Structure 1
Amino acid sequence: MEIAENAALVVVDVQKGFDEAGFWGTRNNPEADDNIASVLDVWQATGRPVVFVRHDSAGARSPLRPGQEGNEFKEYVEQRRGKGDTGAELLITKTVNSAFYGTPDLDAWLKDAGISQIVLVGIQTNMCVETTARMGGNLGYDVLVVFDATYTFDLEGPFGWRRSADELAQASAVSLHGGGFARVVTAEEVVGAAG
């Protein structure tokens, strides 16, 4: 695997509100936070650009609402902001699933910097990570999704169908990888290739 010297790491919605198990339910990938931190450390140590994405929910009950503690980045992410070794850094806020529909404009920022490869980590695998990956693929970027540096939660859908977090994450990975939107990889592979 080749990681471009200017590949952008996009850290999606790693916010305190996702730790509220009573709101979200059962999650998968218990090692995801450690993997996000290790990928972020390599990006910053090698001077590659990092994009921090924050979801500002408009939902009245959401722990991710602006002004709530849950809207803040998790402590390990906040501690790493501004710590890169000369690498560019960007903060994007959004109210929808895709980081490409946030402020400022991610696509414009990437194009202005000559970046064609993005690496995604964060929360939730089958929601904001997947939506951002699909749009990135549609826009022509070489997209890598670090599967074990993402996680999601059990979910109920139509017809009483219920899927576990693991089932949803795997379905997302199969759709992204098999559908050609992104390459789904592991943190170990990415850290090894980028270090």
Structure 2
Amino acid sequence: MTDAAKPGPYSAASTGLLLVDPYNDFLSEGGKLYGRAKPVADQVGTLANLKKVVATVRAARIKVLYVPHHRSRSGDFAAWKHPSPYQLGASRAQVFAEGSWGGQWHPDFEPLPGDVIIHEHWGGSGFANTDLDLQLKQHGIQKVILIGMLANTCIEATGRFAAELGYHVTLVRDATAAFSAEAMHAAHEINGPTFAHAIVTTAELCAALG
């Protein structure tokens, strides 16, 4: 955290937690992408920090919004003109497959009454072709805290889009993970400072939430 990017204050009335892609395929042993994220996740303590942030946010009565990736179905992109390489790869592997264990929420992150489940995003951004902006506006949310998976893909794309739409954006550097240390570095040291208003640790965020 730098002096120019201190967290908070975070009002319960105007702050929302965006919990991005907390699926078994990412966060549970045996998940299709778990092994690729595990080295970085173990190094920064991703799972423990995710749980700590969610618990602290709930105690502060801040709204939790689930921002889920599209759950794969066979033939999703067969008729698409321009599917991305990531979309095609996910389709081949049937990552987060609809109806599968991998496409279910990690058991530590089951939604609670009052949480908001955003429409599934097809690409990286949780805003593109979903109701996320609408839901944030309807709940009076002006500041968003992003946690979940992955730092350099869906977290970054969603954070950039949020900033473009005028939201205050906080990234939590150890409540996420990536497939490499280089990707984590790029997400928080190179790309993040170009759009995020605060880039903090879990401890710094929880202290700011008080």
Scaled by the length of structure 2, what TM-score is found? 0.77
The one of 107, 126, 134 equivalent to 1:99 is 126
Could you tell me whether the CA contact under 8 Å between 1:10 and 1:52 is conserved in 2? yes
Post-superposition offset of 1:102: 5.3
Matches within 5 A, 1:26-45: 26-27=37-38, 28-30=40-42, 31-45=45-59
CA contact (8 A) 2:25 2:31 kept: no
For the pair 1:127 / 2:134, whether they are aligned, the reply is: no
Q: 1:72 aligns with which of 104, 129, 132?
A: 104
Aligned partners of 1:177 and 1:94: how far apart in 2? 21
Q: Deviation per CA, 1:82-104, whole angstroms, max 9, x where unpaired?
A: 16xxxx4201222221111254x
State how far apart, in whole Å, the 2-side matches of 1:188 and 1:151 are: 16
By relative contact order (CA 8 Å, sep 6+), the higher-ranking structure is: 2
Runs of 4+ residues over 6 Å off in structure 1:
none
CA contact (8 A) 1:55 1:71 kept: no
Partner of 1:192: 207
- Point out the structure with the larger strand share: 1
Q: Which residue of 2 aligns with 1:115?
A: 141
User: Runs of 5+ in structure 2 lacking a partner?
Assistant: 1-6, 73-90
Q: C-alpha displacement at 1:194, in angstroms?
A: 0.8
**Matching residue of 2:21:** 13
1:21 Cα deviation from its structure 2 partner: 6.5
Deviation at 1:26?
Answer: 4.9
Contact 2:147 2:172 in 1 (8 A): yes
Superposed CA RMSD in Å reads 1.9
CA distance in 2, matches of 1:178, 1:100: 20
Residue in structure 1 matching 2:112, options 75, 82, 89: 82
CA distance in 1, matches of 2:32, 2:18: 27
- How many angstroms apart in 2 are the aligned matches of 1:90 and 1:22? 26
> 1:25 deviation in Å?
2.4
Structure 1 residues 166 and 48, CA gap change in structure 2 (3 angstroms): same
Deviation at 1:41, TM superposition (A): 0.5
Q: Give the structure 2 partner of residue 159 of structure 1.
A: none
- Does 2:114 correspond to 1:63? no
Per-residue deviation, 1:184: 1.3
CA distance in 2, matches of 1:70, 1:138: 32
Letter in 2 for 1:25: R
Q: Give me the identity figure in percent.
A: 27
Q: 2:192 corresponds to which residue?
A: 177
**CA–CA separation in structure 1 for the residues paired with 2:146 and 2:115:** 15
| Cα distance change, pair 183–63 in 1 and its aligned pair in 2 (3 A) | same
1:26 to 1:76, Cα distance in 2 relative to 1, 3 A: closer
Task: Note the residue ranges of structure 1 that are not aligned, 5 or more in a row.
Answer: 154-164
Superimposed CA distance per residue, residues 32-72 of structure 1 (whole angstroms, 9 cap, x where no aligned partner): 11111111001111211000122124313133121111001
